[in-house]
């Protein structure tokens, strides 16, 4: 997936991805990647967990907004635990600030 | 269903609860290499005016679309329209435990969540088309030389501003 991400960005579109395998993502070094140590097949978390899914989208968009060019290709570890994290509501009206 | 896919699916389910084993298995399978600097395009727009597209390797498709080839690997992609009924999607993938993805595709293809954000005014809109692949693709040359350009062309045609990619 990192290969495709690089190609899309190369073509001129900003991209952000979630990573479930830090070493592979590091090797492919896509422009923006956020790592969570969660089971495969669950980049946005658990089924029907709306707050968790929204939080992951928030993290992705925030990264798009804030990551500086110098940190392209770095894999950011969000440090979120699997099933032991408490998710509150995220205020998306702050996205554009 | 082949013996290979039965075995892969069995391994995927068996190691599901053990993240380190999964990662070892994935690293063993992944051979892709990249050259050169990481490309970079700054996002300079406003989210509230931007059009988002999702690209996932979760193996989603509609029943009437061709199945993915999980045994040989498959560099092809399926178009998922923005107003898709997620409950109608099926999943082909033997390298992860797909039960949760079938229960709620939003954990990989968060179209319901993104539609909510559009309704709330946080995002400008969803691209008409979203992109689904099955993540086992040993054919990396075809992925880069054929799939990626097709996807890029479609995204450009649909004036996409930002792309979210989610792996299985």
Q: Using CB atoms, which residue from B95, B97, B135 is nearest to A1? A: B135
Residues of B in contact with A17 (CB under 8 A): 164-167
pLDDT at B30: 63
Please give the backbone phi and psi of residue B51, each rounded to the nearest 5 degrees, phi first: -110, 125
Please give the backbone phi and psi of residue B10, each rounded to the nearest 5 degrees, phi first: -65, -45
Q: Is B122 in the A-facing interface, judged by CB distances under 8 Å?
A: yes
pLDDT digits (tens, 9 = 90+) for A56-76: 999 999 999 999 999 999 999
- Inspect the interface and report whether the beta carbons of A31 and B40 lie closer than 8 Å: yes
Count Cβ atoms below 10 Å from residue A55 Cβ, excluding itself.
20
Q: Taking 90 as the threshold, does the pLDDT of residue B42 lie above it?
A: yes
Residues of A in contact with B86 (CB under 8 A): none
Shortest distance, CA B18 to any CA of chain A (angstroms)? 8
Cα separation, A32 vs B159, in Å, equals 21
With 0.80 as the threshold, say if the pTM is over it.
Answer: yes
Cα separation, B22 vs B12, in Å, equals 8
- Inspect the interface and report whether the beta carbons of A13 and B164 lie closer than 8 Å: no
Cα–Cα–Cα angle for B112, B118, B124, rounded to 5 degrees: 135
The strand pair at A15-19 and B162-166 is best described as parallel
pLDDT (average), residues B25-51: 86
pLDDT digits (tens, 9 = 90+) for B94-148: 989 999 999 999 999 999 999 999 999 999 999 999 999 999 898 889 999 999 9
Count Cβ atoms below 10 Å from residue B151 Cβ, excluding itself.
23
Question: Under DSSP, is residue B125 helix (H, G, I), strand (E, B) or coil?
Answer: strand
Chain A residue with Cα closest to B26: A21
Q: Is A87 in the B-facing interface, judged by CB distances under 8 Å?
A: no
Cα separation, B82 vs B93, in Å, equals 22
> What is the ipTM for the molecules in this complex?
0.98
Q: Is A3 in the B-facing interface, judged by CB distances under 8 Å?
A: yes
- pLDDT cut 70: percent of chain A above it: 100
């Amino acid at each position: 997936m990192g290969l495709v991400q690089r190609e899309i960005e190369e073509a001129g579109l900003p991209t952000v991805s979630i990573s479930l395998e830090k070493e592979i993502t590091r090797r492919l070094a896509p422009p923006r990647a956020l790592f969570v140590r969660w089971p495969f097949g669950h980049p946005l978390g658990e089924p029907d967990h709306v707050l968790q899914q929204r939080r992951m989208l928030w993290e992705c968009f925030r990264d798009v907004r804030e990551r500086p060019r110098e940190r392209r290709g770095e894999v950011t570890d969000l440090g979120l635990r699997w099933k032991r994290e408490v998710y509150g509501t995220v205020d998306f009206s702050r996205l554009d600030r | 269903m082949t013996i290979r896919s039965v075995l892969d699916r069995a391994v995927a389910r068996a190691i599901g609860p053990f993240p380190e084993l999964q990662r070892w298995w994935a690293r063993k399978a992944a051979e892709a290499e990249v050259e050169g600097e990481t490309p970079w395009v700054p996002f300079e727009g406003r989210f509230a005016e931007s059009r988002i597209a999702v690209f996932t390797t979760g193996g989603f498709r509609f029943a009437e679309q061709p199945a993915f080839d999980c045994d040989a690997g498959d560099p092809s992609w399926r178009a998922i329209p923005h107003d898709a009924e997620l409950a109608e999607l099926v999943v082909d993938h033997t390298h992860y435990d797909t039960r949760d993805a079938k229960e709620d595709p939003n954990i990989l293809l968060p179209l319901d969540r993104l539609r909510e954000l559009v309704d709330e005014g946080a995002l400008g809109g969803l691209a008409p088309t979203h992109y689904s692949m099955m993540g086992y693709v040993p054919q990396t040359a075809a992925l880069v030389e054929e799939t990626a350009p097709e996807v890029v062309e479609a995204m450009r045609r649909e004036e996409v501003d930002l792309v979210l990619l989610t792996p299985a």
